[in-house]
Amino acid sequence: MPAPIAVPRPFAYLAAVNFTLITHNAYWFQGMPFEGTAPGAPRAEIAAGLAKLYRKYGANALCLQEVQSNDAYAEIAVALGLEGQYRPGRTYAQYGGAVLWGQGEAAANDGAAAAPVERFWVKARLVLASGEWLALANVHLPSGRQSSKDEAAQSRLAELRGMLGAGPRPDVVAGDFNEPPGGGVQRLMEAEGYADLAVHFGHGETDTHTRKHARRIDYVWVREPLLKRARSYHVPEPAELALGGGRYLSDHLPVVASFE
């Protein structure tokens, strides 16, 4: 891990922000369709294709879910020229994830959580041009694939509460929440003072899957004081991830958010 960067003061919501964030479930860099839950190493053409897509949108902060190993994280970090922190899945190691940044430092991770965590959460401080920092959290919440629907719903809330209460309070929370709008996750995040950036830009019903079959489960939540600095929210069309023959770079579409 790189040496921590000296951060002089917290983000005051007044300085120039000017950064682009991408959150994306990379589906273990296997491409879709992929059968099973025990991925091997990233497939070279998939990792290269996703890195090209992230560069196209100018990401200088990246939240990735379903990163199966530190080696997989290191491969994409080198390809993008970014630093970051990888966190393996707690109960299911293959459900790891990472935050990558152009300038920043690791802040906290689910190792600080008192309650059990199924997958992961990780926080970073992004260092802005002004020398101030912005706290970013990346989460991947339980889907119910390994538990009942009700158990997963309760676990999502418990993990979110644990994440919000541990380490720096995040200004932005992004990731795969595995729950569509209108549920307990939305109520909790709004009660905690966060706004759904998709709704803010009129994309609340925009799906985030390459095959349009489900409601949105990928989010960028922003604390209210920062909302006025949000410039755009974009979900690429599935065609941008298409490989031909009904195959895609991932089963999820990336979410691109920019701030000024």
Q: What pLDDT score was predicted for residue 155?
A: 94
d(CA 166, CA 123) in angstroms, rounded, equals: 10
Query: At 204, is the secondary structure helix, strand, or coil?
Result: coil
CB 146 within 8 A of CB 102: no
CATH superfamily of 12-259: Endonuclease/exonuclease/phosphatase (3.60.10.10)
Please report, to the nearest 10 degrees, the dihedral formed by the alpha carbons of residues 127, 98, 165, 229 taken in order. Answer: 40
Question: Per-domain residue ranges for the chain?
Answer: 12-259
Beta strands in 128-215 (DSSP E): 132-140, 172-176, 194-196
Cβ burial of 33 (10 Å; 0-12, 13-18, 19+) is: exposed
Cα-based distances in Å from 54 to 5, 64, 81, 115, 208 = 24, 11, 12, 33, 16
Residue 80 φ/ψ, nearest 5 degrees: -95, -10
d(CA 163, CA 112) in angstroms, rounded, equals: 8
The owner of tokens 């996703």 is: 50
Cα distance from N-terminal residue to C-terminal residue, the chain: 29
Q: What pLDDT score was predicted for residue 119?
A: 96
Please report, to the nearest 10 degrees, the dihedral formed by the alpha carbons of residues 179, 181, 183, 185 taken in order. Answer: 70
Sign of the alpha-carbon dihedral angle for 145, 251, 156, 38: positive
Q: Phi-psi bin for 222: left (phi > 0), alpha (psi -120 to 50), beta? A: beta
d(CA 188, CA 203) in angstroms, rounded, equals: 20
Q: What pLDDT score was predicted for residue 17?
A: 63
The helix-helix angle for 184-191 and 149-165 (nearest 10°) equals: 20
Q: How many Cα atoms occupy the beta-carbon half-sphere of 101 within 13 Å?
A: 27
CB 171 within 8 A of CB 136: yes
Nearest to 169, CA basis, from 132, 135, 131, 138: 135
pLDDT tens digit at each of 260 positions of the chain: 444 333 334 444 434 567 899 999 999 999 999 988 789 999 999 999 999 999 999 998 999 999 999 999 999 999 999 999 999 999 999 999 999 999 899 999 999 887 789 999 999 999 877 777 899 999 999 986 777 889 999 999 999 999 999 989 999 999 999 999 999 999 999 999 999 999 999 999 999 999 766 789 999 999 988 898 899 999 999 999 999 999 999 999 999 999 98
